Each structure stands twice: as structure tokens, then as C-alpha cells.
Amino acid sequence: NYSIDESAYLLGYSKIKTFKNIHLPYLKNSIFLVIILLLIEIIKELPITLIMRPFNFDTFATTAYTYASQDLLEAAAAPAIILILISSAFILLTSKYILNEQS
């Protein structure tokens, strides 16, 4: 809606000040939701973690993958459960946030 921008410019707001004071408060909730969804994607992404990780640096996903590929399923269970719990927390936070937005 250009009328909001035009009104802000007529009141003497610069483009940066208009974005900061008018547009950013409207975008705040969307940005928060995008960050949560991005964290969920980052946590569950194994191939990129395997390719991009530095030497001698293991994440929960790489540890679970290493143990599972060696048929040590009991050892792979702990990091896998931690990944599931972290992802579930982010998913619950997202669903609670979406339900609050709808009401």
C-alpha cells in the first residue's frame, strides 16, 4: 500500500525511518516465524552438515549418522532423541505462535 509510504514521506520520514518505524513492526511476527522454521530446517539437514563441517567437529546429526551406519543403534539413539526433542520444541513453538495469530 503506497499511501502509507507516501504519508510517511509527507510527514518527513526518510526511507530507512519509514521501514524501521512503520514496516518493521508489521513484519516482526513474520520474521520471527521464518527464523523458527529456518532453525528447524538447519537442525534436520544432514547432507550439508556432512559436507560443510570442519574436521573433528561432530553435531548430533553426524554423530547419530555415524553410529547408525556402524550398526550401533543404541549409541545412535541418544543424539537422535536430542534432535527430535529440539525439533519438537521448535515445532510446538511455531504451532503455538500460529494459533495465537489466528485468535
Q: Please name which of 93, 82, 77, 80 lies closest in space to residue 33, comparing C-alpha atoms.
A: 93
**Residue 97 pLDDT level (bands cut at 50, 70, 90):** confident
pLDDT in tens, 69-90: 999 999 999 989 998 898 889 8
Ramachandran sector of residue 13 (left: φ over 0; alpha: ψ -120 to 50; beta: rest): beta
pLDDT for residue 103? 65
Report residue 33 as a C-alpha cell: 516465524
pLDDT one-digit tens code per residue, 17-54: 999 998 999 898 889 888 888 888 877 777 777 777 77
Question: For residues 1 and 103, what is the distance between their CA atoms, to the nearest angstrom?
Answer: 25
Average pLDDT estimate for 87-100: 85
Phi, psi of 62 (to 5 degrees): -70, -35
CB hemisphere CA count around 103 (13 angstroms)? 6
Kindly tell me if the per-residue pLDDT of 95 is higher than 80.
yes
**Buried b vs exposed e over 63-73: b needs ≥16 C-beta within 10 Å?**
bbbebeeeeee
Task: Please report the pLDDT score of residue 28 as a whole number.
Answer: 87
